[in-house]
Each structure stands twice: as C-alpha cells, then as structure tokens.
C-alpha cells in the first residue's frame, strides 16, 4: 500500500482491460474481504478491476457476456420444448422404449419389459 498524502491512502489493482497496474483511492474491499485502506494486503493477490479509464469497456463486456448467456439459455429451453412436443406423437412411447433398450440392454435380444 502506497501513501501519497497524509489523508489519502492508495492501493494497487490490475486493469485487465488496459493491461496495466493502477493506484486506487476508493474505499473498496480486498479479495480477503477487509477494507483495502485499513490493513496490510502485501500477501493478498492483486485484484482485477478496471481502472476509471476502462470502466465503461468492462461494463460493456459484462453486459455482452450476460446477453450471450441469456441467449444460450433461451436456445436450450427452445430445444427442450421442441423435444417435449415430439414426445406427444403417437409413436413416442415405442421410440423411447427402443432407445432405452439400445442404451441399457447393449443390443441383447431378451425382453426386458417384464
């Protein structure tokens, strides 16, 4: 922790967006959950946190990632819904039984329905 003035304490973060270290004067918590400006954090790993110049880019990337996750979940739900609709066909039970025999009976010809 570097002290620049008597009033303000600075601590170090690493901006992964810009690829550089920077000094921070905000009241933030360390990865160890203790306030950065009140304890010795020499043994703690440097926290990845966008610097003020790259903060908007970090927020854009986070929003983009969340959107992609939502889209992937929606696609999985759509595929499951389509599969569920196919199970309502008249021959769905027979297809399911054949699949289970193929998967778990290893192709033997014995009747496992009893």
How far out from the chain centre does Cα 62 lie? 10
Spell out the domain ranges in the chain: 1-51, 55-104
Q: What pLDDT, on a 0 to 100 scale, did the predictor assign at position 101?
A: 78
Record the tokens describing residue 14, joined without a space: 């690493």
CA distances in angstroms from 80 to 6, 74, 86, 93, listed in the order given: 61, 10, 10, 17
pLDDT < 70 regions, the chain? 1-9, 85, 87-88, 90, 106-114
Q: How far apart are CA 6 and CA 71, in angstroms?
A: 50
Record the tokens describing residue 46, joined without a space: 């440097």
Residues 40 and 77: beta-carbon distance below 8 Å: no
Q: What pLDDT, on a 0 to 100 scale, did the predictor assign at position 9?
A: 62
The single residue listed with the structure tokens 């992937």 is 72
């Amino acid at each position: 922790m570097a002290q620049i003035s008597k009033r303000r304490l600075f601590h170090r973060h690493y901006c992964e967006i810009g690829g550089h270290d920077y000094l921070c004067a905000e009241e933030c918590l360390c990865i160890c959950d203790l306030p950065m400006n009140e304890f010795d954090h020499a043994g703690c790993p440097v926290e990845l946190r966008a610097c003020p110049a790259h903060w908007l880019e970090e927020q854009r990337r986070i929003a983009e990632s969340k959107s992609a996750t939502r889209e992937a979940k929606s696609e999985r739900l759509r595929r499951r819904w389509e599969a569920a609709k196919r199970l309502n066909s008249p021959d769905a039970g027979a297809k399911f039984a054949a699949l289970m025999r193929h998967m778990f009976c290893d192709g033997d010809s014995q009747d496992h329905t009893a």
